[in-house]
Amino acid sequence: MSFRLGFPPYANVAPLVRFLEGEGLEVVHAPPTALNRLLLEGKIGLSLASSVFYLTHQEALGLLPDFSVAVLGPVYSVNLFHKKPLPELRRVALTTESATSVALLKLLLKEAGARPEYRREEGGLELLEAYDGVLLIGDRAIQAYAGLLPSLPETPHELPSAFRGLKVTDLAMAWFRRTRLPFVFAVWAYRLEDPPPKGVVQALRRARRKGLARLGEVARGEAERLRVHPALLEHYLWNFRYHLEAPDRLGLEAFAEALGLPFGPHFYSA
């Protein structure tokens, strides 16, 4: 019987899954909202779970202690594209793929004094014809941002955040300015009553080690798939924190506190 692992179909997890090998492993690719549901229903045994989903189901979920998808500063793939300053936003279209990004956006806009009408929508930047802002995540956000760039700067840190009247607010960078902490977008979670075999966790660690060691190769493959500049993808991927270290745990705890949720993780110990 195979052991089912859940991965979102985004470039930022490519270093974790590209070299995943192990007898009896089955990878399920689905958007974060779908993976969350499959995990809770017991249809996958271990999954990258969105942070807000994990935080609201801590009593039922265990956590791998050394895995995350987090950033300290800009993430580049969780962006609010908007035509007006944040406090003036009246209508905002939300991605249907992520609960964590939506929760973070609502938190940041509330603190900015905005009280917009929110609506879940499928689509990309064309939604700006009807909305003041649109939240895009993952590959769609990268492609939208890359499409706005007239050229790639020599230094990626010089990437612009405004294009001919269109502003781009990177939510992870906004979180960093607020807290000076990393933002954890996803963690590896499992149902407490059914922890994964030790061999599965070891296979994930081997895949991560190889993926990070060959990051240039991974970035080139993802850049070709998304049809964006390889240097942009390389900078994007080396920006991630994949280990849930002490600063990341503090960031996750701060997010829980901001949402009014407790923080008492049950860590995997096998």
> For residue range 107-133, what is the model confidence (pLDDT) as tens digits?
999 999 999 999 999 888 999 999 999
pLDDT (0 to 100) of residue 93 = 95
In the structure encoding, which two tokens stand for residue 149, read together? 């760039």
Laid out side by side, the sheet with 25-29 consists of 25-29, 3-7, 46-50, 183-191, 61-71, 240-241
Dihedral-angle region of residue 78 (phi above 0 means left; psi in -120 to 50 means alpha; beta otherwise):
beta
pLDDT (0 to 100) of residue 97 = 79
The percent of residues above 70 in pLDDT, for the chain, comes to 95
In the structure encoding, which two tokens stand for residue 238, read together? 């080396």
Laid out side by side, the sheet with 133-137 consists of 117-120, 91-94, 133-137, 78-82, 166-170, 162-163
pLDDT for 157 beyond 80: no
Nearest Cα residue to 107 out of 175, 10, 181: 175
Which residues, 6+ apart, have CB-to-CB distance to 186 below 8 Å? 8, 32, 48, 49, 50, 51, 68, 69, 100
> Does an H or E element contain 209, and which?
helix 198-213
Distance CA 148, CA 81 (A): 11
> Does an H or E element contain 206, and which?
helix 198-213
pLDDT (0 to 100) of residue 156 = 58
Average pLDDT, the chain: 92
Least-confidence region, from 54-63, 86-95, 203-212, 229-238: 229-238
Distance CA 76, CA 61 (A): 29
Q: Would the pTM of this model clear 0.85, i.e. be above it? A: yes
The percent of residues above 90 in pLDDT, for the chain, comes to 76
Answer whether 4's CB lies under 8 Å from 45's CB: yes
pLDDT for 38 beyond 70: yes
Written as one letter, the residue type at 10 is Y
